[in-house]
Chain A
Amino acid sequence: MNAVLKYPFLAVFIILLISCSDNDSEEVYEDLPSLEDRLFAGGQTTVFLTSSNSFSTPAPNINGSDLADHLDGDVDFESVFVTAPASINQGLGTIFNNSSCVSCHPRDGRPSFPANINARSGFFLRVSLPGQLENGAPIPVPGFGTQIQNQAIFGYQPEGKFQVTYTDIVEILSDGTQITLKKPTYSLIDTYIPFPGNALLSPRIGSPVFGLGLLEVITENDILQNQDINDTDGDGISGKANYVFDAVTGTTKIGRFGWKANTATILEQCAGAYNGDMGITSYLKPIETGFGQSNGEDGFGDDPELADHILQRVALYCKTLAVPAPRNITVSNVRRGAKIFEQLECAKCHIPKMQTGPSAIAALANQTIFPYSDLLLHDMGDGLADNRSDFLANGNEWKTRPLWGIGLTNVVNNHTNFLHDGRAKNITEAILWHGGEALNSKNKFKQLSAKDRNDLLNFINSL
């Protein structure tokens, strides 16, 4: 059984962190930005951690009853589900991708791209038929739904197995450095019934779950301020909010979560993950993901399998995980990197600063935060395209990922696989995968000197 991290850290060493500046002579003739106002990346939810637990502590400012629920939610997040009937945690599957939340969000962070794509991992394929439902959602593939479960409880057949092949894409930087990107092509094999040839596939890998409550309470107006759907300012960058069907309220709401911003709330994201990833039904998603399928029903009639309060406190857990503070922000090469980040126009989409509005959870309300995301959809080019639309997101569009905590990925998860399917092996590769609206930024990155590139990476790794 996994141990559970549940101790809050107080932010008592901040002054120490910012007092020992490592200025060198470059600052004398370069106008370097100060990053000190970005130290509290999550506002008062910030923690100062540099270990494998950096994503896993409760926000230090949450109140007593929220903390109690957070700690219970932490246990729930690690709970392993088993075949029904059972005295606890019953109802895994029948078809599923994994058996606990934490197995796809290890240490509340990122899973690596799996060495064996059909072992249990944080990876799966979404599927749909061409077109959209009336409410904009993707059209489920009959017999498969919108997500392929490649695992099943014993005696049942998974929907199919995944297969991946790679094509090399060689990028040459201006100093001659050659980097070979591996472009994955996914397919489905060994499906339990024939899979339609015209169906669309889109890969997904789990993403970090800290700081989500803050993103949920950025006001819609603040997000829309950065929209520029028709690129009226002519900078080549548009930015578009997704509007999605929200099962919690039965209405259309702005999308904030998921790789294509196709989910409005964390509660729905959690319910969707329980249902789609683990085969656990809840009051929001009461129908088994394999309902009506020959491999999809265990016949116990025990739905919803998850108690309402467990779903709610797991959502609260994700909302109230602390945001780790940036490191080395007074070091001059980090500050140079921040300047280059601006010059390359990375910050036009990875907007550093946001403000939260009101929140039912007091700790999250009215915080100045530094997620480095505009929460908007952008055309990222053909190289990254999944060619599968999801509400207003077209097949080339992805939501800007927050960059906070990115430099801690290696210490938390012992890898640096990034992007929606974990295809990038490090931050440099992730940058080189940028295209579409980010093509200019990528091309400017390729022109950088080795020193400038390293400073940019130092800055990103300081987040």
Chain B
Amino acid sequence: MLLVNCSDNDTDPVIADGAINKEILTNASVNVITATYKELYDNSVVLTTACQNLAIDDEAALTAVKNAWIATRAPWEKSEGFLYGPVDTEGIDPAIDSWPVDVNAINNILSSSQAITSALLDNDDARGFHTIEYFVWGLDGNKTASQLTTRELEYLVAAAQNLQSKTQQLYNGWLQSQGNFANNFINAGQSGSIYTSQKDALLELVEGIIIISDEVATGKIETPLNGDNGAASPQDEESRFSNNSKLDFANNIRSIQNIYMGDFGSVQGKGLTDLVASKNATMDVSIKAKISDAIAAIEAIPGTFTDAIFNNRTTVENAQQKVAELKVILESQLQPLISNL
């Protein structure tokens, strides 16, 4: 079997697949990844505006902020299947998704006399999604607009502006007319790309989706579910103030789906699925089914995740199991298939 790859005939599968590989890599990096970051940035602009429009006692405006936060959170969670490149090397992940919330730092900043600006927050972990979430929903998820203070409003606007600037940096990092990290994928195997072959770039895509499937199963679900010596540990739940965790997890699986299918928004491009289907149609069908099953099982958890880890543990365990099964097929079947190209 191994000698086949070294044979002297003209049907080297890597060369034969070069065109389709390039199509998959281009589509994934431009139409999925860069497009996800564009949506993240665009929605963060809306979030900033919503925060600027917020006033004490204005419950409708607070609802608008909450909706804008949820809308911005979605593309971020849909990006966690590809946490390589600028999000990592430019320190953007800790800037926008730092967790746990540094409540004391927030309180110290609020009680200081300093003007709270995006620049002030730039060198601090007390910013990003979860800091904004904390202000908008409160520790117990029941914050009202009447409880807001002037200083909190000032902080909220600064945090939203900071988030917007970091998401813009992230989007620009991939954008072909700017940082062009996408080029590493589009021209994988050529000089100027960090990937020395198309296979290496495809493996990056595959490993990225394996990692997030593992993270959801054995981290994001497991730790709140069993983190207290086998009992629920609610303080380990990431988006617990907003009760957005179920959607976070489902969107993480959708990031797998988007990379695998090559689809995002209205674009349906070439994805890993096309490569897999041409080599092992059964595997392709199985992977798609595992993706759908995982999303369905997460969405089938009744009520909030915080409640479910105490009162509907079986449904949470089922979702965890489905995500774990997705991870297994990606790791034991998809990864070897790409490695053997």
* A interface residue numbers (CB < 8 A to B): 1-7, 12-13, 15-16, 19-20, 49-53, 71, 75, 80, 82-89, 92, 99-100, 103, 106-107, 112, 119-120, 151, 153-155, 327, 410-411, 413-415
Contacts of B195 in A (CB 8 A): 50, 411
Contacts of B126 in A (CB 8 A): 154
* Neighbour of A1 across the interface among B2, B88, B99, B197, CB < 8 A: B99
Is B203 interfacial (CB-CB < 8 Å)?
yes
**A/B interface sample: 15 pairs, CB < 8 A:** A5-B214, A6-B211, A52-B84, A75-B219, A82-B101, A84-B104, A86-B103, A88-B236, A89-B100, A106-B88, A119-B123, A153-B105, A153-B108, A154-B108, A414-B86
Contacts of B103 in A (CB 8 A): 82-83, 86
Is B152 interfacial (CB-CB < 8 Å)?
no
Is B85 interfacial (CB-CB < 8 Å)?
yes
* Shortest distance between the CB of A449 and any CB in chain B (Å): 20
Contacts of A88 in B (CB 8 A): 100, 235-236
Is B39 interfacial (CB-CB < 8 Å)?
no
In this complex, what residue of B is CB-closest to A100?
Answer: B94
* Neighbour of B238 across the interface among A1, A7, A119, CB < 8 A: A1
Contact mask B198-225 → A, CB, 8 Å, 1/0? 0010011001001110110011000100
Determine whether the beta carbon of A71 is less than 8 Å from that of B238.
no
Identify the interface centre among A51, A85, A411, A415: most chain B CB within 10 Å of its CB.
A51
Contacts of B327 in A (CB 8 A): 7
In this complex, what residue of B is CB-closest to A411?
Answer: B194
Contact mask B85-109 → A, CB, 8 Å, 1/0? 1101101011001111111110011
User: In the complex, A70 Cα to B129 Cα: how many Å?
Assistant: 29
User: In the complex, A2 Cα to B76 Cα: how many Å?
Assistant: 12
Determine whether the beta carbon of B207 is less than 8 Å from that of A20.
no
Is B19 interfacial (CB-CB < 8 Å)?
no
In this complex, what residue of A is CB-closest to B122?
Answer: A119
* B interface residue numbers (CB < 8 A to A): 2-3, 5-6, 80, 83-86, 88-89, 91, 93-94, 97-105, 108-109, 112, 122-126, 181, 194-197, 200, 203-204, 207, 210-212, 214-215, 218-219, 223, 235-236, 238, 327, 331, 336, 339-340
User: In the complex, A112 Cα to B91 Cα: how many Å?
Assistant: 11
Determine whether the beta carbon of A154 is less than 8 Å from that of B109.
yes
* Shortest distance between the CB of A258 and any CB in chain B (Å): 24
Contacts of A154 in B (CB 8 A): 105, 108-109, 112, 124, 126
Contacts of A3 in B (CB 8 A): 80, 83, 211-212, 215, 219
Contacts of B109 in A (CB 8 A): 154
Contacts of A75 in B (CB 8 A): 219, 223
In this complex, what residue of A is CB-closest to B87?
Answer: A2
* Shortest distance between the CB of B58 and any CB in chain A (Å): 28
Determine whether the beta carbon of B88 is less than 8 Å from that of A80.
no
Determine whether the beta carbon of B112 is less than 8 Å from that of A107.
no
User: In the complex, A71 Cα to B339 Cα: how many Å?
Assistant: 24
* Shortest distance between the CB of B304 and any CB in chain A (Å): 19
* Neighbour of B112 across the interface among A12, A71, A155, CB < 8 A: A155
Known A20-B6, A119-B122; 8 more pairs at CB < 8 Å: A2-B94, A6-B211, A83-B108, A86-B104, A88-B235, A106-B88, A410-B194, A411-B195
Taking A13-B339, A107-B88 as contacts, is the C-beta distance between A6 and B98 under 8 angstroms?
no
Determine whether the beta carbon of B108 is less than 8 Å from that of A155.
yes
Determine whether the beta carbon of A4 is less than 8 Å from that of B215.
yes
* Shortest distance between the CB of A210 and any CB in chain B (Å): 16
User: Secondary structure at chain B's binding surface: helix, strand, loop or mixed?
Assistant: helix
* Neighbour of A52 across the interface among B3, B6, B88, B197, CB < 8 A: B88
Determine whether the beta carbon of B102 is less than 8 Å from that of A82.
yes
* Shortest distance between the CB of A319 and any CB in chain B (Å): 21
Contacts of A6 in B (CB 8 A): 211, 214, 218
* Neighbour of A51 across the interface among B200, B214, B223, B340, CB < 8 A: B200
Determine whether the beta carbon of B235 is less than 8 Å from that of A87.
yes
Identify the interface centre among A3, A120, A414: most chain B CB within 10 Å of its CB.
A3
Determine whether the beta carbon of B6 is less than 8 Å from that of A19.
yes
Contacts of B207 in A (CB 8 A): 5, 49, 51-53
Determine whether the beta carbon of B84 is less than 8 Å from that of A80.
no
User: In the complex, A152 Cα to B103 Cα: how many Å?
Assistant: 16
* Shortest distance between the CB of B36 and any CB in chain A (Å): 15
Taking A15-B2, A51-B207, A414-B89 as contacts, is the C-beta distance between A80 and B125 under 8 angstroms?
yes
Determine whether the beta carbon of B100 is less than 8 Å from that of A86.
yes
Determine whether the beta carbon of B89 is less than 8 Å from that of A106.
yes
User: In the complex, A106 Cα to B89 Cα: how many Å?
Assistant: 7
User: In the complex, A327 Cα to B196 Cα: how many Å?
Assistant: 10
User: In the complex, A119 Cα to B94 Cα: how many Å?
Assistant: 13
* Shortest distance between the CB of A248 and any CB in chain B (Å): 29
* Shortest distance between the CB of B327 and any CB in chain A (Å): 8
User: In the complex, A112 Cα to B83 Cα: how many Å?
Assistant: 18
User: In the complex, A12 Cα to B2 Cα: how many Å?
Assistant: 11
Contacts of A99 in B (CB 8 A): 94, 125
User: In the complex, A441 Cα to B211 Cα: how many Å?
Assistant: 42
Contacts of B340 in A (CB 8 A): 13, 16
